[in-house]
Structure 1
Amino acid sequence: MVPMLLRLQRKCNAEWFRQSTVLTLKASSFLFSVLTVPAQSDDSSGDEKLSFALDELVKKRSHYLSSGHVAQTLRCLRRRPAIAFAYFRDTESIGFNHDLSTYSEIIQILSHARQRKMLVCLFFELVSRIKTGNIDILPLIDHLRRSCTNSHALSFASDCLIMAYIDCHDRQMTMELFSHLCSLGFVPSGWSCNVLLKFLADSGESDMVVAAYEQMKCFHLTLDVHTLDIVTRSLFQAKRVDKAIKVWAEMIEMGVKPDTHAYSTFVFGLCSFGKYDLAYAALREINRERVPFGAMAYNKVMEGLCKENRLEEAETVLENMTKQGYAADVYSYSYLIQSYCKMGNLLKALDHYDAMVSHGIEINSHIVSYLLQCLRKLRMTSQAIEHFQKFRESGVHLDGVVFNIAMAAYCELGNMVEAVMLLNEMKGAGLAPDTIHYTCLIDGYCQKGEIQNARQVFDEMLKTNIKPDIVTYNILVSGFCKRGLFLEAYDLIDHMRDQGLEPSSLTYGVMIDGFCRGGNVCDAEVLLYIGRNSRIDNIEVMYSAMVCGYLHSGSTDDACAIFVKSVLEGNIVDPFSCAKLISNLCKEGNLKVASTVCSMMLENNVVPDAISYSKLISAYCKAGDTKNARFWFDDMKERGHSADVILYTLLMNAYCKCGEVQEACNLFDLMIHAGIKPDIVAFTVLLDGHLKELLRKGWQNSAKEGRSFTLRAKTKQLLSTMKEMKMELDVPCYTVLIDGQCKAEFLEEARGLFDEMLQKGLAPDVQAYTTLINGYCSQGEIEKAEDLLQEMEDRGMKPDVLFFSVLNKKKNEI
């Protein structure tokens, strides 16, 4: 900056000497003589003698200049700003000290003439003197405000002064000056306001940016779209998201219309901090206002929506993007394909893949890996291999990740020959296999039981200087243990230590699991003992492995004991092992211990998973213990798990079997209020419960008309609700209704229901036939019972021995 100012000064001085004739007419004769002495001298003694003479003359005569005389001369040169500025400099160079009036005069001249460079140069020198304490700018500004009547000139002067302060790189002084200018009535232009804001923003001072913005707003200065962009960008960089949103809303209310840059800043900032709702709303506003917007911003919003699994909205963004004339790129489709693959929605992922290909967008290895992983996740391993082969044949560049997925798929199918061939193909294509690829092969051989081949791959890995990681060792150790090669497992642990890797709790856990699966529970117990005494981190991993190991070997009691021991030591086993333990206990009917396990988990802030709750509730329902079943059912919901219609139905059925039909009805209402739609099984359970309740209350002693009324009243409401839900009766539901009619001695109605079932194309099962046959037998209509029995046998159904004994008994009674 300083060299530029010196060049500008020399240029002004040259202009002054070229115009010396004009100056002699308007300036004082004294000044004229001073300035023309060097021009008239023809002394040949050289530049040094001339310079000395001039200096002596300046020293003798500079004190004769007055402030009024200089100011008057400047006013005479108002129409010649360059000459005026040169005159101002020359008077200063001969020792004249300018005061407020002369400074004010030259500032006004340069402001009227819009001479920004000269005025910034002048202010820069003044600001530099301020820094050394030689002058105060504020009296000059105040004098200028009182002496200048042109508001445009004052605004221009304030702009140049702000620029000079910025060039001094002093943020605090610049802010203070800006505040003084505003308080004195100066109105900086919108351009200089933005220059100041950018200066503050570039220094990372978001507080000062906000303070300057608030002051500009307070003094009603011109704020435009550039202001909006600068302030919001600074706030986002400072992670002040809420303030950025507030400023955006304020400026929109002021009437500022965002442009492409401002919208991009806002949308990218919102997405960076997870404010995808607002980003999506801003994008809709952009579309409505038809503001030109790059594809990158659309992709950013799509990426955010996909992260939150709001894929339908992301698809809408893609659709709007193309409607606005922007071509979707590989990233646009990649986000959607990746998200649908993670959700396991292969059809939607393939739809977007097809759309991508149809638009001529070249796919990459990342998209290939998403699709292949999705196929493997859906257990479509063979299809994953087929797609891999198609991608490979199409010439798409496939990276190491894709090859690893394909190798894992071949390993999963037990086709180790193809997996090894892929590894060699990688090498031939210039792709260097890494630890993950070799570990994949080792795992495949271990899963297949070919432990020697796994060891050979491990040895090859070492020969090629590829270092195994903890996962590699754990897989191989587990393989050795499962095959009963316990000494080899210990040797591998020693090798692991030699490589600088210390076995972790997971390593020991893998060994414990392998020992148990290999039938060597004793060594597993020894390993757990060693781990407890050596104070290995995450000892709960070893406890979890031991619990699963005992369960695998059929020792549920030992698994419970080690679980309790771990809890007492403050090392709760993992939820998976707990769930497995609870499941085994429920299968064995040991519900009290299963409940104790759940309670101990909860006491240690570990919430059982929904499956564990379901199994425990189901076991209590099967045992007829509705009190404990309901306790764990309510606890499950309180812990944040949602019960499905199957679990509700199980508990309702348990209530009905215990004669607590009203509790079943209450639970049915709770299910409806929870927004869970009952299925036909739930209605069937309630119908059956109502009928059995009537029987228990001795309704057969009442008049037949009364029984009919009671029966119809009890079933009408449920059947009506089923009809409203457009729910069709199935065979079990018809069977329950037929049983109710039979026990109420309404055989014709029962037969009518049976025929209705046939007319609907439903095939009665053994239970349906048996129910109606029993109804006929109970009323002594043996011939109808035998006819129905014959029909049943013609359909290939055979009743059990107990049924025949009942039928023969009824015949003998008759």
Structure 2
Amino acid sequence: MVLCRQPKHVFEWCIHLRIAPLGLPCRPFSVLTASASVQSDYSSDDDKLNCAPSEFARKRPRALCSASVVQTLHCLKRRPAIAFAYFKDTQSIGFNHDLSTYSEMIQILSHSRQGKMMVSLFSELVSSSNGKGPEILSLVDHHRRTCGTPYSLSFTIDCLIKAYITCYDVHATKCLFGRICRLGVVPSVWAWNLLLKLIAESGEYEMVLTAYNEMKCVQLTPDVYTFAIVTRSLFQAKKVAEVLQVWAEMTEMGVKLDTRGYSSFLIGLCDCGKYDLAYIFLQEIIREKVPVEAMAYNMIMDGLCKEMRLDEAEKLLENKARQGSIPDVYGYSYLIRSYCKMGNLVKAVDHYEAMVSHGIETNCHIVSYLLQCFRKLGMTSEVIAHFLKFKDSGLHLDKVLYNIAMDAYCKHGNMNEAVMLLNEMKSGGLTPDKIHYTCLINGYCLKGEIQNAQQVFEEMLKANIEPDIVTYNILAGGFCKSGLVMEVFDLLDHMMDHGLEPNSLTYGIAIVGFCRGGNLSEAEVLFNIVEEKGIDHIEVLYSAMVCGYLHSGWTDHAYMLFVRVARQGNLVDHFSCSKLINDLCRVGNVQGASDVCKIMLEHNVVPDVISYSKLISAYCQNGDMDKAQLWFQDMVQRGLSVDVIVYTILMNGYCKVGRLQEACELFVKMTNLGIMPDVIAYTVLLDGHLKETLQQGWQGIAKERRSFLLRANHNKLLSSMKDMQIEPDVPCYTVLIDGKCKAEYLVEARELFDEMLQKGLTPDAYAYTALINGYCSQGEISKAEDLLQEMINNGIEPDALTFSVLNQSYLRSRKIQLCV
């Protein structure tokens, strides 16, 4: 507090304090009050005195000497507040304190621990505006030699550092530290922490680390606050490696952090994205049974969930409960969000129910995760049902939830309910935005109600809600599907009039829409205009035109455009390339499909597995197994996942050209690689063995021997199928029946046919024809006719092959009868 000051004569004041005035004139110059002198006798509180400057006497007294001031201060050493007031008072009348008077004052304040007075004294001394007084380092050195106790010296240095921090910047304060250390005086850990905090606030983390290392060099042991300051600064600079080094040093020094310290450390790791490290450290902290703040748990759980390490996140939630922390909405929210993201609705609902069972109230964010998961899984009806359920429960509904529900109604084609939700939003004080209006426009376009879509668009404009590029693209696509060519061009003009330039995606949607609507010529006109004008990401435009040609059945035009674009240095997107390869193979232009693959590889774009499979299959159908094998090898060398389908395609190709041995070798290679064969692969080999038996190379072998070999090969493959628990399907049974018939094992063929029926499989025309052919080849025409009738009775129409087999058998029978 500010004390009232009454003028007194120095002599009377000194008599009051029983101090002999040494050569002091009996003239008024001091304004210390008696109340101050009494109060300060037993006080050491800094707040008890705040001295104002004294009033000068009309006549200046004789100059004071340093010795008398020192003696007076010494007599006042048990009254630090009065001593400090006297020190300031003498200074205010023009006395220049020197090394001795400052030292005495510092001795008094340090022994009585008057921190505020000491900081005030040093602040005035080191201030740049005050050029008087002794040099600060000389004063420190003198106090070092005369203070008597290390504790007094440490207190003095602490106050000096605090004063320097108040008056100077980081670099000046750090420089003072160095100069003090060179005097042989080591500032306390508290002072170093002040310096570290000052540097950290300036954002210079490298200087923080330097100061920290200097602190260790002077043999000081950092404390908890030191580590907190240093690690926080390093975390802000994203220097995780340096943080871990500091952590290791802390562990070696035996410094134990408290709950807040550990929590801050874990949060820092999470802020740097090092969730795995945070999780590991948390396990150690839990083992030491140190409580951790809920925020640290939640941040680590959030990180684990973002990395989809959900098992660990669930264990962490359990550990949190064991540590006595009450489950909160955040941990459950992270798990529900992640499981919904991966489409695991069962786990998401389990955690939601667990959350509710703990009495934790849900919120609109968690509900939106669940509803979006339903929508992602195509469960549109469930989206609507749960939305209504949460709505009836009184849950606060935000714009996101309304949009999800509106989208569900639109996908169901229930536009009336969607519009009602929009109006409900308005009446509830929520302002619909462009997302909600775009949702309605998309719903009407999906139903083909383009006029209603236009009305919503106009309502959106009247509400001063600016459509974005997504809105325009959806509406443009709707116009195209409805064949409204002029409306599309008008919409593009409208976009540009409102300062929104159509992008390549907009034009691409329009082009594809024209083609799907049967307006290929309009698509070409728009394509030519935009290509001539030029546009960013023009490859999107090229991709759209290629897909448009393919949709219209103009595969050759799509191929020529692809080649022209490639020569210009551009490449259509991966989807368009794959579709082009598929259509070229379908129309028999295998060389064109091969060229597309080569051009893709020249542009460092690797075709997908389906494109390779289509190309290999096309070459196999043409009997060009060498090129099929080349593309197969290229596929393997590029590290693509070659599955059983690709192997089966190649095996089937080899079998068709009579290269059964290579097909068998490929089968063995496939199984050795750990690729499990399926029933189709076995069917291909079974059929291959049958064809091999009937080829010219077997003509020199007796008929009985051929039948035996065929039967042995089939039994071997069937045994392998059984070991792998692969059941034959209808095509497989058909091949087996055909083989038995050609080997003249008709009884076994019929048994296979009956076995197929007993398993609930329905024979097709090929299966019936194979057995009919077997009966006919053995002259059992009546059985063949009975089987044909059975086939018709079962609703299976005989095909041309069936009648051809029967006609040939009738002709053979007639010829035999004529010969007889």
TM-score, normalized by length of structure 1?
0.82
Q: Is the 8 A contact 2:199 2:207 kept in 1?
A: yes
Deviation string 1:110-147 (CA, Å, 9 cap, x unpaired) is 43443322332333233225986975433433444444
Give yes or no for the alignment of 1:426 onto 2:425: yes
Distance change >3 Å, CA 713–CA 155, structure 1 → 2: farther
Shift of 1:99: 5.0
Partner of 1:502: 501
User: Separation in 1 of the partners of 2:125 and 2:719?
Assistant: 95
Shift of 1:546: 1.5
Partner of 1:30: 22
Q: Is the 8 A contact 2:730 2:756 kept in 1?
A: no
Shift of 1:692: 6.8
Partner of 1:326: 325
Counterparts of 1:514-553 in structure 2 under 5 Å? 514-553=513-552
Give yes or no for the alignment of 1:358 onto 2:357: yes
Distance change >3 Å, CA 221–CA 649, structure 1 → 2: farther
Partner of 1:577: 576
Distance change >3 Å, CA 689–CA 219, structure 1 → 2: farther
Shift of 1:557: 0.9
Partner of 2:615: 616
Distance change >3 Å, CA 159–CA 35, structure 1 → 2: farther
User: Separation in 1 of the partners of 2:134 and 2:363?
Assistant: 66
Shift of 1:761: 5.5
Q: Is the 8 A contact 2:54 2:92 kept in 1?
A: no
User: Separation in 2 of the partners of 1:772 and 1:35?
Assistant: 142
User: Separation in 2 of the partners of 1:295 and 1:202?
Assistant: 27
User: Separation in 2 of the partners of 1:311 and 1:234?
Assistant: 31
Partner of 2:343: 344
User: Separation in 1 of the partners of 2:54 and 2:320?
Assistant: 78
Deviation string 1:680-712 (CA, Å, 9 cap, x unpaired) is 544665676678778877598499999989997
Q: Is the 8 A contact 1:130 1:137 kept in 2?
A: no
* Letter matched to residue 488 of structure 2: A
Deviation string 1:303-334 (CA, Å, 9 cap, x unpaired) is 22222222222222222223323233333222
Shift of 1:171: 0.4
Q: Is the 8 A contact 1:731 1:757 kept in 2?
A: no
User: Separation in 2 of the partners of 1:753 and 1:158?
Assistant: 105
User: Separation in 2 of the partners of 1:688 and 1:776?
Assistant: 20
* Letter matched to residue 206 of structure 1: Y
User: Separation in 2 of the partners of 1:731 and 1:744?
Assistant: 20
Q: Is the 8 A contact 2:30 2:54 kept in 1?
A: no
Q: Is the 8 A contact 2:643 2:675 kept in 1?
A: yes
User: Separation in 1 of the partners of 2:12 and 2:215?
Assistant: 45
Counterparts of 1:45-84 in structure 2 under 5 Å? 51-52=56-57, 55-57=60-62, 59=63, 62-63=64-65, 65-66=66-67, 81-82=80-81
Give yes or no for the alignment of 1:399 onto 2:398: yes
Counterparts of 1:164-313 in structure 2 under 5 Å? 164-313=163-312
Distance change >3 Å, CA 581–CA 550, structure 1 → 2: same
* Letter matched to residue 423 of structure 1: L
Distance change >3 Å, CA 489–CA 759, structure 1 → 2: closer
Mean Cα deviation higher: 379-388 or 795-804 = 795-804
Shift of 1:556: 0.9
User: Separation in 1 of the partners of 2:705 and 2:514?
Assistant: 72
Shift of 1:81: 4.8
User: Separation in 2 of the partners of 1:666 and 1:192?
Assistant: 80
User: Separation in 2 of the partners of 1:604 and 1:540?
Assistant: 13
Q: Is the 8 A contact 1:24 1:32 kept in 2?
A: no
Q: Is the 8 A contact 1:305 1:314 kept in 2?
A: yes
Shift of 1:584: 1.6
Distance change >3 Å, CA 503–CA 53, structure 1 → 2: closer
User: Separation in 2 of the partners of 1:233 and 1:455?
Assistant: 56
* Letter matched to residue 396 of structure 1: L
Shift of 1:740: 11
* Letter matched to residue 57 of structure 2: F
User: Separation in 2 of the partners of 1:669 and 1:186?
Assistant: 82
Shift of 1:172: 0.6
Counterparts of 1:594-613 in structure 2 under 5 Å? 594-613=593-612
User: Separation in 2 of the partners of 1:49 and 1:339?
Assistant: 73
SS in structure 1 at match of 2:270: helix
* Letter matched to residue 294 of structure 1: E
* Letter matched to residue 239 of structure 2: R
Unaligned runs of 5+ in 1: 42-47
Shift of 1:786: 8.1
User: Separation in 1 of the partners of 2:409 and 2:31?
Assistant: 98
* Letter matched to residue 229 of structure 2: I
Q: Is the 8 A contact 2:707 2:743 kept in 1?
A: no
Unaligned runs of 5+ in 2: 34-52
Q: Is the 8 A contact 2:542 2:572 kept in 1?
A: yes
Q: Is the 8 A contact 1:407 1:419 kept in 2?
A: yes
Counterparts of 1:701-712 in structure 2 under 5 Å? 701=701
Shift of 1:746: 11
Counterparts of 1:560-709 in structure 2 under 5 Å? 560-636=559-635, 641-658=640-657, 676-682=675-681, 698=698, 701=701
Deviation string 1:578-636 (CA, Å, 9 cap, x unpaired) is 22222222222222212222222332344434443343344344444444444444544
* Letter matched to residue 646 of structure 1: I
User: Separation in 2 of the partners of 1:457 and 1:451?
Assistant: 10
User: Separation in 2 of the partners of 1:306 and 1:445?
Assistant: 37
Q: Is the 8 A contact 2:54 2:89 kept in 1?
A: no
SS in structure 2 at match of 1:511: helix
User: Separation in 2 of the partners of 1:748 and 1:380?
Assistant: 52
Partner of 2:158: 159
SS in structure 1 at match of 2:57: helix
Q: Is the 8 A contact 1:700 1:744 kept in 2?
A: no
Q: Is the 8 A contact 2:56 2:93 kept in 1?
A: no
User: Separation in 1 of the partners of 2:109 and 2:382?
Assistant: 79
SS in structure 2 at match of 1:608: coil
Partner of 2:36: none
User: Separation in 1 of the partners of 2:432 and 2:146?
Assistant: 81
Q: Is the 8 A contact 1:209 1:234 kept in 2?
A: yes
Mean Cα deviation higher: 649-658 or 497-506 = 649-658
Deviation string 1:89-111 (CA, Å, 9 cap, x unpaired) is 56656766555565455445543
Q: Is the 8 A contact 1:77 1:84 kept in 2?
A: yes
* Letter matched to residue 313 of structure 2: A
Q: Is the 8 A contact 1:551 1:581 kept in 2?
A: yes
Mean Cα deviation higher: 275-284 or 455-464 = 455-464
User: Separation in 1 of the partners of 2:69 and 2:235?
Assistant: 52
Distance change >3 Å, CA 39–CA 430, structure 1 → 2: closer
Shift of 1:301: 1.8
User: Separation in 1 of the partners of 2:169 and 2:285?
Assistant: 38
* Letter matched to residue 175 of structure 1: K
SS in structure 1 at match of 2:61: helix
Partner of 2:383: 384
**Identity in percent:** 55
Q: Is the 8 A contact 2:678 2:726 kept in 1?
A: no
Distance change >3 Å, CA 535–CA 741, structure 1 → 2: closer
Partner of 2:139: 140
Deviation string 1:267-324 (CA, Å, 9 cap, x unpaired) is 2232233222112222323332333223332222222222222222222222222332
Cα RMSD (Å): 4.7
Which has the larger share of helix? 1
User: Separation in 1 of the partners of 2:265 and 2:15?
Assistant: 60
Deviation string 1:652-677 (CA, Å, 9 cap, x unpaired) is 44445455566556655765676655
Q: Is the 8 A contact 2:682 2:721 kept in 1?
A: no
Mean Cα deviation higher: 769-778 or 604-613 = 769-778
Q: Is the 8 A contact 1:731 1:768 kept in 2?
A: no
Shift of 1:214: 1.5
Mean Cα deviation higher: 788-797 or 679-688 = 788-797
Counterparts of 1:84-99 in structure 2 under 5 Å? 85=84, 89=88
* Letter matched to residue 52 of structure 1: A
Mean Cα deviation higher: 235-244 or 542-551 = 235-244
Q: Is the 8 A contact 2:103 2:139 kept in 1?
A: yes
* Letter matched to residue 604 of structure 1: H
Deviation string 1:726-779 (CA, Å, 9 cap, x unpaired) is 63444479859967995997969978995997899575956788879988999x
Number of residue pairs the alignment of both structures matches: 789
Partner of 1:44: none
TM-score, normalized by length of structure 2?
0.81
User: Separation in 2 of the partners of 1:707 and 1:145?
Assistant: 114
Distance change >3 Å, CA 711–CA 201, structure 1 → 2: farther
